[in-house]
Amino acid sequence: MSVHSFIEAAEYSDQAKGTGGGVSKLALFRIEDTLVLNPPLPEQQKIAAILTSVDEVIEKTQAQIDNFKDLKTAMMQELLTRGVGVDGKPHIAFKDPLVGRIPISREVVSIVTT
């Protein structure tokens, strides 16, 4: 078991961590007899490289998700204002009521009924 795994393990978490002044502290006497894994440095470096690689993939994936969210927002703006005709072709005739430019085929209605 690694030190990090030991500290984060639910069964030891409350026991191993002491608190003082609102800052978590590790009580050494609680873990001094615990054995932990200590892989050779080359193996530690490989593990770190793999985890770094995974972090990079996560960051790139998140960037793609963010880009798709931006694209979705832009598409929603375009589709909800300019619309798309029933035949899939864009509207070509527009009117300008109080809400802004919209296709002629659309109506402006109140969301509150009296």
Reduced 3-state DSSP string for 77-92: HHHHHCCCCCCCCCCC
**Eight-class DSSP state of 9:** -
CA distance 79 to 107: 15
Quickly state the pLDDT bin for 86 (edges 50, 70, 90): confident
CA distance 106 to 98: 13
Report the share of the chain in percent with pLDDT over 90. 32
Q: Is 94 helix (H, G, I), strand (E, B) or coil?
A: strand
Predicted pLDDT of residue 20? 47
